[in-house]
Amino acid sequence: MPKPQSFDSARLLFIRRWGEMAASWGISRTMAEIHALLYLSTEPLCTDDVMEQIEVSRGSASTNLRQLVNWGLIHRVHRRNDRKEYFEAERDVWQMFETIIRERRRREVQPIMETLDRCLAMVDEEQRRSPQGTKAEVEAFRRRFTDIGEFFELTNTLLNLMNKAGRTGLRPLATKLARLMG
């Protein structure tokens, strides 16, 4: 097995960039760096390993590790005769992104979908109480909301299909699709 420190140039570059990318997607840089570290590691790491390699405090390491566990991107690992907790990343990239997509959907897409429904209800209610504009105008306004809602629903459907297809099924699927659409 390669020593923990080998291939360091590649390791460090990837960790840095993974963190930068995450930061621009609204995910804490440190959390992503820790995730990258664990993803590349050949064996589970403990809090002290993370502190040393990412250069963060114990508090920060603990908090970020817990968040990663909550996301489901890493798992706790216990060893016999060792009080320490170790952490291991999900290695199946497909599984990894499925997790990310599921979490973001739950946290961020769901609320906006609910809001769209409420907006439509509000439009109808306001219209019922004190009619304004022509029928066509109101319909056009409603459409602003339904259009976005439909887009999200379609995206949902496609993501579900992608998940179903999974790692092995996806490439043939893409080929099939490409053919379907000429």
The one of DNA, a copy of itself, none whose footprint includes residue 107, by CB under 5 to 8 A per kind, is a copy of itself
CB 21 within 8 A of CB 32: yes
Sign of CA dihedral 18, 22, 28, 32: negative
The residue (of 69 and 170) whose beta carbon lies closer to a copy of itself is 170
- Binder to DNA among 41, 62, 95, 156 (CB under 7 A)? 62
The angle formed by the CA atoms of residues 143, 124 and 122, to the nearest 5 degrees, is 90
CB 87 within 8 A of CB 74: yes
Query: How far apart, in whole angstroms, are the C-alpha atoms of residue 80 and residue 86?
Result: 11
Residue 42 DSSP SS3? coil
The residue (of 23 and 120) whose beta carbon lies closer to DNA is 23
Q: Is 156 in the site for DNA (CB under 7 A)?
A: no
Q: Is 100 in the site for a copy of itself (CB under 8 A)?
A: no
Contacts to DNA from residues 30-59, by CB under 7 A: 30-31, 46-48, 55-59
Q: Is 66 in the site for DNA (CB under 7 A)?
A: yes
**Binding stretches for DNA (CB under 7 A):** 23, 28-31, 46-48, 55-60, 62-66, 81-85
